[in-house]
Structure formats: structure tokens, C-alpha cells
Amino acid sequence: MSMYKKLLKIKDLELSFKMYEGMSYILKKINLELDGGEKVALVGESGSGKSVTTKLILGLLNQKNVYKNGKIIFNNRDILNLSQNEFKKIRGNNISIIFQDPMAALNPVFKIKTQFHEVNLNYSNKISKKDSYIRSCNALEKVSIRDPERVMESYPFQLSGGLAQRVVITMAMINKPELLLADEPSTALDVTVQNQALDLMDDLTRQTNTAVLLITHNMGVVRKFAEKVYVIYRGVIVEEGTKKQIFDNPGHPYTNALLNAIPKLSGEGLPKHDENPPDYGLIPKYTHKSQ
């Protein structure tokens, strides 16, 4: 097995919201592990709780009606209940995040250079605007953006979707974080652009040995990108294994259902609509044996 230290270990994580109608249980004792430099996918459908996991890792869920339990251990430190001040040191520095729509993630009324500068401040809070500009341009050049000055001086609406996504990925990686959270990256863009973005992510994270936690509902993306896979259904991990194990030998019926939903080139068509799917939550978790 790998010799790297465990970068991220989520242990028995629970999350519930107190609503007017009662408690809503979102995550029910999640367990997840990530080694340094490892690429892990968290797959599930909408509402399974996968996105909310990233918010917990970054400490972005602090409202009054939120109840959290369990441990999120990052670099041997439980970060589940850190103060906002302490999170500030981690965000943008040790842990970065990419969202699904780069246009929505960038503030429409500020130039790219202004937004980059804020990210650079995480690297050194005394960095001058000029140095920040140079640093950003260098980073943009490294991702094959040939005219970084034009991009820096632009507003987000002046960039194409693909270009914006590259900018966001660059922002995420510029401080060489140890962990990159990718929340359905590029789902809002064309498939070809999505492909390029994933390639870019792969490339950069390999260079910096950044671990990636990829949140997605798309098994195609999982197959392309992940080393290890966790399948989540309604707040419960129902299967975990390596990519090969999951795709060759899915153990849990829900994983099967997900895989069957991928359209096939062989023209077999989609599986017949199951009128009475089993309650996947009742079927216990399937763990592949480690190899």
C-alpha cells in the first residue's frame, strides 16, 4: 500500500440541519481517507450530501441550525470545529476549492487581477500589488495562457467559459495547496472544455503532489480521473474501493445502478426504468478488500 501519510481522514462525520419541520439528517457517519497526492472521487446523485462535505472541510457551515459531529483530521489536526480565524489560515493555502461554474465563482464587477491579488495575499500578506501581478502572470503562463496581461485586465464576463475555468484552477493551485477540493468541476461547461479542465487539474496536481477530492455525479469523470472511489447515497457511504475494483466488480446495487446509467457506445440503450428500486440505504456498505 502507499507509504504516504494520511493527509485527510474523515471519521464518523455526522451533519444535520434543524428545520421547521424537524431534524434533517444529511450525513450519517461518513468515513473517508485520503493520502497525500492521492486522487479520490466521491460519487453520488444530487442531494446525497457530497457537496456539503466539502463545505464542512473548509468550515463554511456555521449557521445556528447546523449540528456537526465526528472528526475531520487534516494533517493530524481535527479541523471540524476550528474558529473562523484558524480556518482563514488554511483556506486558499493548504486547502483550495474549485466550483462547478467558473463564471459564478468570479466576482463580476472586479477585474481578474484584483481577485488574484486576494488569493496571493494568502501566500504572503505583505505582498505588493506589483509582485502579486507578476506572480499571477507567471502562473497563468504555466497553464498555456499566452497573453496573461490581457486576462488579468479583463472582467470575468469578457472571458470564455474554458478560459475562466483555467483561471479558477490556476487560482486554486497558485499557493500549492496540499488538498484540492473539486466540487463538480466544469459541470456548467461543454463536455470538451470539461475534459480540458480535468486534464489541466490532473497535470497541475501531479506537479505539486496535491491530493484531490473530486465530487461528482458523473461516472465518466470518475473513470478518467480517480484512483480511489467512494460511493455515497443519502448521506451514507455505500461502497469504497479502487477504480478498478469499482468498475470491474461493483459490489453494491446502487453502484451498479450508477454504472448502468452511463450510456454505452454499443447501442444497448439505457436500462429499463426500475419501477420499484430497492431502498439502497438499507443495504449495508460494501468494502473491497485492499490489494
Partner 1 sequence: MSTSQYFIRRVFISIIVFFGVSIVIFCLARLIPGDPARIALGPFATKEMVEQYREALHLNESIFIQYKIFIINLFQGDLGISTYTKRPVLVDLISYFPATLELVLMSGTLMILIGMPLGILSGKFRDTFIDHIARIFSLLGVVTPSFLWAIILMLFFAYLIPIFPVAERMDERLTPPTIVTGLLLIDSLLEGNFKVFADAFSHLILPALAIAMPAIGNVARLTRTNLSDVYDKQYIEFARSYSYSELKIATKFALKPASIPTVTIIGLDFALMLGNAFLVETVFVWPGMAKYGVEVILAKDLNGIVATVLIITFFYLIINMFVDFIVLLLNPRILKN
Residues that bind partner 1 (CB under 8 A): 58, 60, 84, 87-89, 91-93, 96-97, 99, 101, 104-110, 118-119, 121-122, 155, 157, 171
Tell me how far, at minimum, the Cβ of 172 lies from partner 1, in Å: 8
Residue closer to partner 1, measured from CB, 109 or 282: 109
- Residue closer to partner 1 by CB (options 93, 287) is 93
DSSP state of 188: T
Dig out the grid coordinates for 82 from the structure: 476550528
The helix (H) or strand (E) run that includes residue 129 is helix 129-142
Distance CA 138, CA 144 (A): 10
Least distance (Å) between residue 236 CB and partner 1: 26
For partner 1, give the closer residue by CB, 177 or 241: 177
Query: Distance between CA 134 and CA 140 in Å, rounded?
Result: 10
What gap in Å lies between CA 17 and CA 50, rounded to an integer? 15
Work out how close the CB of 50 gets to partner 1 at its nearest, in angstroms, rounded to a whole number.
Answer: 16
Instruction: Write phi, then psi, for 289 (nearest 5 degrees).
Output: -75, 140
Residue closer to partner 1, measured from CB, 1 or 109: 109
Sheet holding 236-242, edge to edge: 95-98, 179-183, 211-216, 39-43, 228-233, 236-242, 286-287
Tell me the closest approach of the beta carbon of residue 70 to partner 1, in angstroms: 21
Nearer to partner 1, 97 or 246 (CB): 97
One-letter amino acid of 107? N
Q: How far is the CB of 93 from partner 1 (least distance, A)?
A: 7
Closest distance of CB 122 from partner 1, Å: 5
Half-sphere exposure of 264 (CA within 13 A, CB side): 10
Taking the complex as a whole, how short is the minimal distance between the CB of residue 54 and partner 1, in angstroms? 9
Using the minimum distance from each CB to partner 1, give the nearer residue, 29 or 89. 89
Side chain identity at 220, as an amino acid letter? G
How far is residue 80's CA from residue 59's CA, in Å, rounded to a whole number? 7
Do 17 and 67 contact (CB within 8 A), yes or no? yes
Closest CB to partner 1 among residues 57, 246: 57
